[in-house]
Structure 1
Amino acid sequence: MSDNRSHRQSFISLTIYFISYGLLVNTLYSRQPALQKQYDLDAADWGWVLFLVGLGSVLAYPVCRYFLGKWGSKRMCRRFGGLQALWLILLAYSPNVTVLYTALFFAGMLNSAVGIAINAQGALLESNSGRRQMGQLHAVFYVGSFITAALSSLSAKFNVPLGWHFGVLAFVMWFVYILVGSRLVGDFSPNQKKVRERGGWKTVLPVGVLTAFASITEGAITGWSILYLNKILGASESEASLGFAIFSLAMMSGRFLGDHVAERFGAATVVRFGAWMGAAVLIASVIIHQPNALLFGLVLIGLGHSACFPLIYSYVGKKGGNAVAKVVSMGFVGSLIGPIVFGRIAKLVSLDAVMISAAIALFIMGCLAFTIRDKHRAAKPA
């Protein structure tokens, strides 16, 4: 009974961490107009904002690997989580753009550190319980995204200064991170020490490539489908924005269901079917060329793509925290490369070509699903 209670407390604490993570990493983007106005950033400057956050996330791997081995994921969650929250203050009070850009780079590193830590915690939780739970944890990330969207909308409506918004949120989230962190799963048990030795590059590189493609395709949908709806298919701005909400809700719903579906059909089958379904839907949307077709398609694409990341991290988590760090970092590489590649395609060819390229990337992602061919059930602890 005490083990069940301890597991439940750890699951609740980690759920709060995933919600908080979704809230914090999206706060910067949700207040984009206010940031651009405060620091006098044009569209090109905003591109540098996105690039520097992504670059920091990618280059954080050696730092994260060191602290994962020294502290373990539980301490990383508490310490880097608290710092990630307080770092918002610097983004709102930077004295000039140079300091802002530097702070953004380190914000990306902190995002990566917390992302690696919470996914390593999720893998430990699954290992201790013997059942899949990563999908549910990733689903609540979107709860944080919706919270930050609502807070940012209210802050903008009532003209709340950026410093007040970021400052109050920073201290509240710092307190939350510290408060619930003591209930997370402890690292460094004999079982976990054995597992950590199985995460070499040769083992995780194929899974990392799959993760990179998953990041590229998700970024293509969230970053370009709304623009495609508005500029090419003639949807109004409000209808196009609805597309993002539809996709997000489908992703959240699919992740709540993903663990159960993977138990029945296997992780590789779920990822492959979801990716290929998304590719087919994108091609069909380009051919049909109607906004309603793509809006409906975003439901299917979101449901199909939703289980990918949770199943990847669940699989690679059995190989230890170091393997999780490598795979998460390769996912950030995909997030950095994707916008550059699709941006060039959009500029040199067309937005139709972007959608078709995204469909090709989804097809390749489905072909790479064999890299997570694990048993239908999460391995029970030895």
Structure 2
Amino acid sequence: MDFAFDARTEELRARLLAFMDEYVYPAERVAHEQRERLASPWESVPVVEELKAEARRQGLWNLFLPDDGYGAGLTNLQYAPLAEIMGRSPQIAPTVTNCAAPDTGNMEVLAQFGDERQRKQWLEPLLAGEIRSAFAMTEPEVASSDATNITTHIERDGDEYVITGRKWYISGAMHPDCTIFIVMGKTDPEGPDIRRQQSMVLVPRDTPGVTVQRAMQVFGYEDHYHGGHAEVVFDHARVPVSNLIGEEGGGFAIAQARLGPGRIHHCMRLIGMAERAIELMCRRAVSRDAFGKALAQQGVVQNWIADARVAVEQLRLLVLKTAWMMDTVGNRGAHTEIQAIKIATPRTVVGILDRAIQLYGAGGVSQDYPLAELYAGARTLMIADGPDEVHQRSLARRELKKYL
């Protein structure tokens, strides 16, 4: 295993680091101030739109997509250090480089499973940043940690599908530019194979019967930059049969293909969040005194910083190994590693952010520093894309199988 960055990765890292220093970090406070003056918090923030144009000009656009026909054509191993850098400012950096979920996963689905018409109508505008999208899978009435539980009906009626169901925490759905939903529901609810009951269809937002009911908060945050998280009702919404992605019964497999890259992308960005936390901890520690000496001289603070550094280095190696395996043996071959990083990374980064918040005291939970919002995002990732316990269960069963 060789995790050394190749020449293209080094060149992109240098450009992205410079872009972050010159544009992204200064824009964080500006974006917050501009948003407070908008008529609606869901409107696009001027500085963010300016940064999108600059990112495109610098060739820092669609870096996530390995298909060089549509994206940058980077491998997972090449993209990992770039996603980590973007994770240092997880609200703005992924958005302005068109590397933000849920659009990234939706573009991957369309690139891999969509037909020519679907790619022309929806993928190309998403790649250009002209529209936004949402992925509608999670439901409030069932334990969505088991995707076979979903109850949304996708019933065929002649040349149309009729979609009926309620979804929530549908990321991206509050954004005014969100034009298309990828909806997962059951086309064969009585089918003998519970993993072949589900299908995915494309549902335009303006379809009659589609209602975005409300924005869902995450620890009090609405996640405006990524288009929020909505509760959405589909009440006999009709779309053409041609809006089916792939084949009937293929929804579960498509979801698994979508979530593999999504999980590692989250973990890559989480490492960047941890690095931002360590930087903030160190700056605070050398600039504040308590009980007659600098915080940096307090033994407990030194332990927090040392432990954080050790943990981040361990996580980075595991994530890079996972990226390398996905590139060399595929997502299926890297299944154990993907689950391992999904379990280890969010919980470890939550711990690092918790110590950083403690070091900042009242400031740590305030809006004046990014730590509280980073914590909310990291803690949510212990649930998103499958809760930790589901991955632990699956990973343990795979290990135990060797001995049965």
TM-score category by the smaller chain? 0.3 to 0.5
Higher-helix-fraction structure: 1
Under a length normalisation based on structure 2, what TM-score does the superposition of the two structures give? 0.31
Higher-strand-fraction structure: 2
Greater RCO between the two (CA within 8 Å, min separation 6)? 1
